[in-house]
Structure 1
Amino acid sequence: MKEKKKVPKTSWKKKDFLGWMIMLPSIILFAFFVWEPLIESVRLSLYTAKGIHTEDFVGFDNYLRVLRHPDFMDALKNTFVYIGWSLVIGFAVPIIIALLITETIHFRSLFRVGVYFPNIIPGLATVMLWGFFFRPGNTGVLNILLSKIGIESQKWLNNAALTIPLIVLTMTWKSAGSTSLIYMAGISGINPELYEAATIDGAGIRQRIRFITLPSVFSLAKTLLILQVIAVFQILYEPLVMTNGGPNNASISIMQLVYNYAFRDYKYPMAAALSVMICIVLIILSGIYFKLTTKKED
C-alpha cells in the first residue's frame, strides 16, 4: 500500500496565523466597541450606582423599576406606532419609486441620482430642516406656504395625532431613495424575456408589474421589511430633536427613554436595564431576519 502524503503542518499554521492577524484589528475593535459595552451594561443593570460606579447588587430590581416607570408604556406603545406608520408610509414608497424609475425611458440615471440625494444629507441636518418646515405658528415654512392660499396656521408637531406620522414622513424622505435603489437592482435581475413575452401577449404596464415584477421582488421586500422594523425600533434623534418626545410624551420612543434615563436623570442602572431589554428584542428580530435570509438562499 502506498503511504499517503502528509501535508506539512508548518504551511497550514502559517496560513492560519496570517488569517488571524488580518482579522485581529476588526476583532479587537468589535470586542471593544460592542461586546465590552454590552457586558458592562448587563453588569450595571444588576447594581445600584453612584454615577457610573456600581455599589450594591440588586438583581432585577432595575428591570422592575423600568417596567413600572410611568413613561415606559408610552415609549413602548409609541415605538410600535412608529413601526406601524413606517410600514404604512415608508415601506411602499421605495417600491413605487423603483417601479416608476424602472418603467421610465428617458433621464433614468438623473432620477436615480435625484431620489438618492436626500440620503447623503446628514441625519441631524435633515431632522432640523424638516423641524423648521413643520414648525407651528407663523414662522413654520409649511404654515407660511399655506397662508399664501388662505389656510390658517396649523399646530403640526404640537398636534399629538400628527407628530409620529410627520416624523416618519421625515425618515421616509431621507431613506426611501437608497432602499429604492436596492429594489431597482432586484428588478434589473429579472429575466427580460418575461417582459417581452408579456408584451407580445398584450400585457400592459399594470399587468407586467402585477404578475412579473412584484412576485420577483417579494423575497427581497420581505427581507427589507425585517431590516426596516429593526431600524425603526431604534429611532432616537428624530423625535429627540424635532419634538423632544412631546407633546405630553406623544412621540417619545424607547431609545429616547434610554437617553433620558442616562443623560437627563443620570439613572445609569435603569438605562442599562432598558438597553439590555432592547438588545434582547433586537436579537429576536435579527434571528427572524437570518431565518428568512437562509430560506431565501436555500
Structure 2
Amino acid sequence: MSRPAGRDKQPAAAATRRTPSRRQHRRNRRTSGSWWIPWLFLAPALILFVYFKFIPMAQAISMSVQDVRPYLGNLYVGAANYTEILSSDGFRAATWNTILLAVGQTFGSMILGFALALLVEGQTRKLTFIRSAAFLPVVVPIAVVAELWRIMYHPTGDGLLNQLLGLVGLGPSGFINDPDTSLASIVVTGIWRGAPYDMMIFLAGLAGIDRGLYEAAIVDGASVRQRIRHVTLPGLRAVFAILFVLAAVRGFRAFTEVFLLTNGGPNGSTEVVMTLIYKLGFEQNRLGVASAGAVLLFVATLVLTVCVQLLRRRRVA
C-alpha cells in the first residue's frame, strides 16, 4: 500500500523547522554573548594601534597640506608642501639613496637568509642551537647593533675590519667615514641583521615542501643544485613574495642604523628619506614639509606592496 503524500511531507517539513538557518545561528551567537570574546582579547592591541599609529597617520596627512605653526595656528597651503619637497635636490638624493639601500638590503638578506636556511635545516639538537645563535642579531636592539658595527668600522688600521683586510693585503678603508663606501657599509649592517629573520621564514617554508619530491628527484639522479632549482625554489615562491615585501618595507623605513652610524653623512652620501624627514621636522621645524615626505614614503611603500601582491596572484592564476 502506498502512503499518502501528506505524510511524507510532514517529516521533511519538521526537519526543516528543526534545522536552524545561518541567520538564526548568528543571532543565537550574538544573544549568547560569545561573539565579543575575541574582540575583547584584541581590544588592548587595537587601542594601541589606533592611538599610536592610525591617529598619527591621520594627523600627518592633515599636516602635509598645512603650514604648521605651533601655538599660532596652522594655515592651509594645499599641495605647496608636496611641491616643495618634490622639487628639492636633497629629497631626490635621499630617495635614490633609500632605493639603493632597500635593494641592497632586500636581496642581500634574502640570499644570505636562504643560504643559512639550507645549511641549518634539520631536527638535531646541534642545529637547534645553531639556529638560535644565528637568530641573535634580530633580537638585539638596533642601537646596540649600530654601536657594534660603528666600532668595527673604525677607519684606522687598528679597526677590527681593517685588521682583517690587512691580513689579505688590502689597505685600510674608511667605511662609514668615506663617502664612497659609507652607504655600502650600512647595507652590510642591514644584511647582517635582517638575514637571520629571513632564515627563520625560509625554514618554515622548507618544512612545508613535500619530501617525496626530493626522493623522486634523487631517484631520477638530480644533483643538489638541480633539486634546489626545480624543487626548493618553486616550493618557496609564496615565501619569497612575502619576504620581498617585508624586506623592502624594512629597507624603505631604515632610520635608526643610518642615524646612529652616519646621521646622513659624510656629505649626504647616506642621507635617506627617513633621516631627511627627521631633520626637516625636528631640526628645521618644517613639520608640514616633513609630513608631506612621510606621506610620499607611505604611498611608495603601499604601491610596492600592492604591485607585488598583484604579480603574485597573476602568477598563481
What band does the TM-score fall into relative to the shorter chain?
A: 0.7 to 0.9
**Max Rg structure:** 2
Q: Label 1:43 to 1:133 Cα distance change in 2 as closer, same or farther (>3 A).
A: same
Aligned residues: 298
Matches within 5 A, 1:44-193: 44-51=63-70, 54-102=73-121, 107-147=126-166, 151-193=170-212
* CA-to-aligned-CA distance 1:9-65 (integer Å, 9 cap, x gap): 575243445455444433332221122111111121222122376432111111112
Aligned to 2:3: none
Aligned to 2:303: 284
Question: Percent of aligned pairs with the same residue?
Answer: 26
SS at match of 1:154: coil
Tell me how far 1:73 sits from its aligned partner.
0.8
Matches within 5 A, 1:192-211: 192-211=211-230
In the superposition, the TM-score normalised over structure 1's length comes to 0.88
Tell me how far 1:287 sits from its aligned partner.
2.4
**1:44·1:269 contact (CA, 8 Å) conserved in 2?**
yes
1:36 aligns with 2:55: yes
**2:149·2:189 contact (CA, 8 Å) conserved in 1?**
yes
Q: Label 1:172 to 1:52 Cα distance change in 2 as closer, same or farther (>3 A).
A: farther
Aligned to 2:258: 239
Structure 2 stretches lacking a partner, 5+ long: 1-12
**RMSD of the alignment, in Å?**
2.9
* CA-to-aligned-CA distance 1:204-254 (integer Å, 9 cap, x gap): 322222221122112311221122112111111111111111121111111
Q: Label 1:158 to 1:44 Cα distance change in 2 as closer, same or farther (>3 A).
A: same
C-alpha separation between the residues in 2 aligned to 1:11 and 1:172?
A: 49
Aligned to 2:277: 258
**1:44·1:54 contact (CA, 8 Å) conserved in 2?**
no
Tell me how far 1:78 sits from its aligned partner.
0.5
Tell me how far 1:180 sits from its aligned partner.
0.9
In the superposition, the TM-score normalised over structure 2's length comes to 0.83
